[in-house]
A and B are shown apart, each in its own frame.
Chain A
Amino acid sequence: MSNISVLKSFFQINITFIFQVMLIGDSGVGKTCLLVRFKDNAFLSGSFISTVGIDFRNKVVNVDGTKVKLQIWDTAGQERFRSITRAYYRDAEDYHSKHTDTCSIIKHSLPLAWLAEINEYAQDNVVIMLLGNKADMNSDRIVRREDGERLAREYNVAFMETSAKTGMNVELAFMAIARDLKSRKLRKANEPSFNVAEYVNQEKQRGGCCS
């Protein structure tokens, strides 16, 4: 018992920031899979488990020596949950991760709708990142990378292609978010702001060199 409480207080002291991250997007695009890959480094294969309501998971990450706790809200993509998830946009003070599956972009042309929702319901200072998941499905790809990038540029948000199956870019995406949120919290008025898009590009290039 005492061990546990010591452990707990150890964490509490060291966690400097708590940020809320929200995953939104169409049903079946892989929001939960992405999160499970990030949190447990596992891939949920097999049958499709649809999220009911909102699932909450925490993960503590280390950003330049600072512990940052990401409170991740994994929302259900179905239309009937739209109204409850909306209610949480407001509370998610800092950041929204915007996930869109490669296939849903064209099929429902929804990233626009989702982006519009964020603009309407969320606070102004949210961080938005557009993710194209299932990037491993090269042959069945429905949305081209260029289209995703163009859209991201249009709305001035960061864009990444990820794959929960292979783990590609998943860690990077969440870390980029954590970094951005942290820098926003610490930034003094006259300092230049952290740019997720630039950071992502940098990291992506670096990853490209290594591989």
Chain B
Amino acid sequence: MAEEPVVSSANDDEFKQGSEPGACRNSMLIATDSYEDIAQYLKADVCQSDVPNGKSTSVVGDADDASETSTPDQTVKCQNRVDPEETSVCSEQCTQYDRQEVSSDDSAVGDNSEETATTAVTETGQNSPKETLPDISCINRQLSSLSASDGSPHSVDTDQVCQPASSDVTEPSVTAEEYLSPELDYVHSAQWKNQDKHIFILSKAGKPIYCRYGDEDRLVTLFGVMQALVSFIQSSKDSIRYIVAGDHKFVFLVREHLILVAIAQTKESSTHLLLQLTYIYNQVLSILTLSQLGRIFNMLHNYDLRRLLSGTEKTFDNLLNVMNQDPSFFLCAVRCLPLETSVRDTVAQSIAQNAKVKDLVYAILITNHQLITLVRMKHYFLHPLDLHLIFNLVSATESFKAAESWTPICLPKFDSNGYLHAYISYLDESCDACLLLLTVDKDLFFTLSDCKRKIMEKLTKHHSLKAICESIRRGNYCISEAGIPELRHFLYKSRSTAQFTSPKFEVPYTAEEDRQRLFRLYQHLHYRIHCNSRPLKIMFTVGEYETLLGWVTSGFELYAVFGPLVTKPLAINSINKLLKWIKKEEDRLFILNSPTF
């Protein structure tokens, strides 16, 4: 235990000042935004918009995190995933945290043996027990009965759920028989309730906009309850953040015009769920822009936004599915397609030279949620959040494959109030690479179509196209290439470029459920390291199936997975080797320069 600080500080020196693998040599390629920044941004935003006379941010943050670490939910996570007995947390600053950690775990285990109480956490950060908020606990019970995952008879569930709420919200035209008929009643079936993560979007007036499973129209009562919860807390000049009820977590993101709710039994932290809701909110903005949203709802409070969002359900579904398996979202980083530097440079140059068009802001070449190259206008950076929306748009829209397309897209981090116009075209039918040219001029389609033709000619001439196709076909690299036998998998994020790399999933993570488990472990590790109340630099945990090591410095974040029997010195040794390997391969794995037009 005593040796870690030494090792880490030695490495801190070694990789300091931008010399860590993947650090950008030139100016930044993608705007940096660390996870903490985003967490801060989330909080600040919530506070700004919802608690006009609110408390200071720091109070909110501290109180929230304190309550979060002590929620029983977290202990459940510890028990299932990583045995608390074997968990040791190494922090440079203070080893006594270790003792605290263990003791808090113990006490929480005790809590957990009794039935867990419903905990609601609001913006001011006080845990609100039942006695202080009688009304809310009543609504909570309705919600939790809805999410109860038992196999009890169908009709009983329906009664419990529908009747209390239907008295005030549902239209009387829906008869009881309709609710009970099984084919119409997916939303009240056990299958629906057992879904891991539900996502709902509703307007401030409580009108349904989107739900992940089932038909919104049949869930109006539930949307009504959610709106009631939000406005109830708002009436006391506060804002609801999340509710924990047993295995379920209800996370709320309240924005100026929209309310987003996640109901999850995935044991993810509320921070991660909130981040996912933010991505979804950004997806809405990307379709409609903030100003349009404002205009609509200022004019008509009860506007049915589904009219404007029709046809985009697939985009949301796709985003949610990808967020559940791709670490790039919670890392707020972008994965690059491994490519030789010379090829990548040629591609970037071909694009930069042939797309010299006034008002062209970004030229982006991507494939399957990976960045191949990015050429940008001077002084404009592309934020990872925006890039993820672009990835999602392309992967969710089949029709781009067949024709050249021209569509407006709003990148909320770039400008949430205006559209960029995107020329979108796949390079070639045989190649899965998609070129996007984003401009502010809405009349440039034919110019850009011409640019694409020229770029294609250049790429074919230099055989870059073939190299790109080859790399896409080969897929991600194997962990064995790094030559570290005890290492199973890792995520490495370079913070200055907001890019990350990871090998492909191999044995024992080939099955879908194992991969999912590994993903949750990474999420857990990430959450523990970035937990605001007690941020860690190094975390080493031994679980039943694997050993995890997380290490965060000012330059990078590394999350590594070993077999369960690996010792601490061996693990540390391995990651030192790994860092050297990444440094050696950085030209191939990362985009280190940032070409401009």
Residues of A within 8 A of B (CB): 1, 27, 32, 36, 49-57, 74, 76-81, 84, 87
CB pair A76–B311 under 8 Å, yes or no, is: yes
Given contacts A27-B310, A79-B307, A79-B308, contact A52 B393 (CB under 8 A): yes
CB pair B406–A54 under 8 Å, yes or no, is: yes
Interface centre among B287, B307, B406 (most CB of A within 10 A): B406
A85 CB to closest chain B CB (Å) equals 10
CB pair B399–A55 under 8 Å, yes or no, is: yes
Q: Specify which of B314, B399, B407, B445 is in contact with A32 (CB 8 Å cutoff).
A: B399
B559 CB to closest chain A CB (Å) equals 35
CB pair A55–B442 under 8 Å, yes or no, is: no
CB pair A55–B393 under 8 Å, yes or no, is: no
Interface centre among B309, B402, B449, B461 (most CB of A within 10 A): B402
Chain B contributes a number of interface residues (CB within 8 A of A) equal to 25
> Which 3 pairs between the two chains have the least Cβ-Cβ distance?
A53-B407, A50-B311, A55-B403
19 additional A-B residue pairs with CB within 8 Å, beyond A51-B405, A52-B400, A54-B407: A27-B310, A36-B402, A49-B397, A49-B398, A50-B311, A51-B399, A52-B311, A52-B393, A52-B405, A52-B407, A54-B406, A55-B399, A55-B402, A55-B406, A57-B404, A74-B403, A78-B311, A81-B408, A87-B442
CB pair B288–A80 under 8 Å, yes or no, is: yes
14 pairs from A and B in contact (CB 8 Å cutoff):
A1-B461, A36-B402, A50-B314, A51-B405, A52-B399, A52-B400, A53-B407, A53-B422, A55-B402, A55-B405, A76-B407, A79-B308, A80-B288, A81-B408
CB pair B406–A53 under 8 Å, yes or no, is: yes
Q: Which residues of B contact A56 (CB under 8 A)?
A: 403-406, 445, 449
Q: Which residues of B contact A78 (CB under 8 A)?
A: 308, 310-311
Interface centre among A32, A52, A74, A81 (most CB of B within 10 A): A52
Q: B395-436 toward A: CB 8 Å interface, digit per residue (1/0)?
A: 001111011111110000000000000100000000000000
Q: Complex Cα distance A76/B288, Å?
A: 15
Residues of B within 8 A of A (CB): 287-288, 307-311, 314, 393, 397-400, 402-408, 422, 442, 445, 449, 461
Q: Which residues of B contact A1 (CB under 8 A)?
A: 461
Q: Which residues of B contact A81 (CB under 8 A)?
A: 407-408
A187 CB to closest chain B CB (Å) equals 27
Q: Complex Cα distance A57/B422, Å?
A: 17
Q: Which residues of B contact A51 (CB under 8 A)?
A: 399, 405
A64 CB to closest chain B CB (Å) equals 28
Give the residue name and chain of the A residue nearest to B310 (CB): A78
A152 CB to closest chain B CB (Å) equals 27
A1 CB to closest chain B CB (Å) equals 8
Give the residue name and chain of the A residue nearest to B407 (CB): A53
CB pair B287–A80 under 8 Å, yes or no, is: yes
Q: Complex Cα distance A28/B128, Å?
A: 48
CB pair A49–B399 under 8 Å, yes or no, is: yes
Give the residue name and chain of the A residue nearest to B308 (CB): A80
Give the residue name and chain of the B residue nearest to A32 (CB): B399
Q: Which residues of B contact A54 (CB under 8 A)?
A: 405-407
Q: Complex Cα distance A1/B456, Å?
A: 13
Q: Which residues of B contact A74 (CB under 8 A)?
A: 403
Q: Which residues of A contact B397 (CB under 8 A)?
A: 49, 52
Q: Complex Cα distance A79/B422, Å?
A: 19
Q: Which residues of A contact B309 (CB under 8 A)?
A: 80
Q: Complex Cα distance A26/B497, Å?
A: 44
A29 CB to closest chain B CB (Å) equals 13
Give the residue name and chain of the A residue nearest to B404 (CB): A56
Q: Complex Cα distance A49/B400, Å?
A: 10
Q: Which residues of B contact A87 (CB under 8 A)?
A: 442
Q: Specify which of B308, B399, B403, B442 is in contact with A84 (CB 8 Å cutoff).
A: B442
Q: Complex Cα distance A54/B404, Å?
A: 8
CB pair B398–A53 under 8 Å, yes or no, is: no
Q: Complex Cα distance A81/B421, Å?
A: 12
Q: Complex Cα distance A97/B422, Å?
A: 25
Q: Which residues of B contact A32 (CB under 8 A)?
A: 399
A185 CB to closest chain B CB (Å) equals 20
Give the residue name and chain of the A residue nearest to B288 (CB): A80
Q: Which residues of A contact B407 (CB under 8 A)?
A: 52-54, 76, 81, 84
Give the residue name and chain of the B residue nearest to A49 (CB): B398
Q: Which residues of A contact B461 (CB under 8 A)?
A: 1
Q: Complex Cα distance A54/B449, Å?
A: 13
Q: Complex Cα distance A56/B398, Å?
A: 14
CB pair B442–A79 under 8 Å, yes or no, is: no
Give the residue name and chain of the A residue nearest to B397 (CB): A52
Q: Which residues of A contact B287 (CB under 8 A)?
A: 80
B408 CB to closest chain A CB (Å) equals 6
Q: Which residues of A contact B393 (CB under 8 A)?
A: 52
Q: Complex Cα distance A64/B95, Å?
A: 88
Q: Complex Cα distance A36/B399, Å?
A: 11
Give the residue name and chain of the B residue nearest to A82 (CB): B308
A71 CB to closest chain B CB (Å) equals 9
Q: Complex Cα distance A80/B419, Å?
A: 12
CB pair A84–B398 under 8 Å, yes or no, is: no
B461 CB to closest chain A CB (Å) equals 8
Interface centre among B403, B445, B461 (most CB of A within 10 A): B403
Q: Complex Cα distance A67/B113, Å?
A: 80
Q: Complex Cα distance A18/B404, Å?
A: 18
B440 CB to closest chain A CB (Å) equals 14
CB pair B402–A53 under 8 Å, yes or no, is: no
Q: Specify which of A49, A55, A84 is in contact with B404 (CB 8 Å cutoff).
A: A55
B275 CB to closest chain A CB (Å) equals 25
CB pair A53–B408 under 8 Å, yes or no, is: yes
Q: Which residues of B contact A84 (CB under 8 A)?
A: 407-408, 442
CB pair A53–B405 under 8 Å, yes or no, is: yes
Give the residue name and chain of the A residue nearest to B449 (CB): A56
CB pair B310–A57 under 8 Å, yes or no, is: no
Give the residue name and chain of the B residue nearest to A73 (CB): B406
Q: Complex Cα distance A78/B398, Å?
A: 16
